């Protein structure tokens, strides 16, 4: 019997918009090919034309290629017991993910922008991020979950908070104890710890 090909995730060799899917697959113990594109040149010459939306990340399973970081994350989460239990719960989870994706975009000037724009970006984050984290905090239950059980936005939140800390913006969620519970659960997962240690730059 032919063995089934492993799913493939294509993204740059950094966390960015690909990391949430990596973390979900790692936590679920699902084997996948973590294809890391080493440079923008490699992306444009080797992968871009092959990607379904002309963007990274993209994901391939069963001969189908899918783009859109949140769609991919949702797909692998639902296939591995980390989605909601009905359409409404799935929509709620996607709405939290949407907000976090918008927040992540605010870190792009730190990741890719020129040095002289970083101070301005930091001021902007200090002004806007606390309200957005407070909004997320309201969506989390006292047990530190979005829906009374672990779910895929947990992984986005963990990464978002790691990036906030990396850019000296950790104070923007310091008054959010329930966010603290979510990220403590993700960050203490031994499979996640092992994966992060392996890919630490
Ligand atoms: N909304 C898309 C945005 C994807 C996106 O902007 N990807 C960037 C990298 S983070 C990219 O592919 N850049 C290369 C290009 O535009 O050719 C998603 O969440 O997947």
- Closest by CA position to 105, among listed 72, 71, 70, 60: 70
Residues 112, 182, single domain; the answer is: yes
Q: How many domains does the chain have?
A: 2
Same domain, 94 and 177: yes
In a domain, 3, yes or no: no
On whether both 72 and 160 belong to a single domain, the answer is no
Q: How confident is the model at residue 3 (pLDDT cuts 50, 70, 90)?
A: low
Q: What is the rounded average pLDDT for all residues in the chain?
A: 95
Judge if 66 and 108 occupy the same domain.
no
Question: Domain with 49 in it: what CATH number?
Answer: 3.40.30.10
CA of residue 54 to ligand 1 center, whole Å:
8
Residues 98 and 74 in one domain: no
- Residue 2: pLDDT band by 50, 70, 90 thresholds? low
Same domain, yes or no: 107 and 182: yes
Mutate to test the pocket of ligand 1, among 9, 10, 15, 17 (most ligand atoms within 8 A of CB): 17
Q: Band the pLDDT of 94: cuts 50, 70, 90.
A: very high
CB 10, CB 51: distance < 8 Å: yes
Look at residue 107 in the predicted model and tell me its pLDDT: 86
Ligand 1 centre from 111 Cα, in Å? 14
**Distance from the alpha carbon of residue 155 to the mean position of ligand 1, in angstroms:** 19
Q: What is the pLDDT of residue 113?
A: 86
Ligand 1 surroundings by CB, under 6 angstroms: 16-17, 48, 55-57, 68-70
């Amino acid at each position: 019997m032919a063995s089934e090909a492993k799913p493939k995730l294509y993204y740059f060799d950094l966390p960015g918009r690909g990391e949430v899917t990596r973390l979900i697959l790692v936590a679920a113990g699902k084997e996948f090919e973590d294809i890391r594109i080493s440079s923008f040149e490699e992306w444009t010459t080797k992968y871009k034309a092959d990607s379904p939306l002309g963007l990274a990340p993209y994901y391939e399973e069963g001969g189908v290629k899918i783009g859109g970081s949140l769609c991919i994350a949702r797909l692998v989460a639902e296939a591995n017991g980390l989605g909601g239990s009905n359409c409404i719960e799935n929509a709620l989870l996607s709405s939290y993910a949407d907000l976090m994706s918008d927040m992540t975009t605010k870190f792009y000037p730190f990741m890719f922008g020129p040095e002289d724009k970083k101070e301005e970006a930091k001021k902007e984050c200090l002004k806007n991020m606390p309200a957005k984290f407070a909004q997320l905090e309201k969506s989390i239950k006292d047990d530190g979950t979005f829906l009374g059980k672990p779910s895929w936005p947990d992984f986005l939140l963990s990464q978002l908070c790691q990036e906030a800390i990396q850019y000296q913006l950790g104070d923007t969620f310091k008054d959010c104890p329930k966010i603290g519970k979510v990220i403590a659960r993700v960050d203490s997962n031994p499979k996640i710890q092992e994966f992060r240690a392996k890919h630490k730059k």
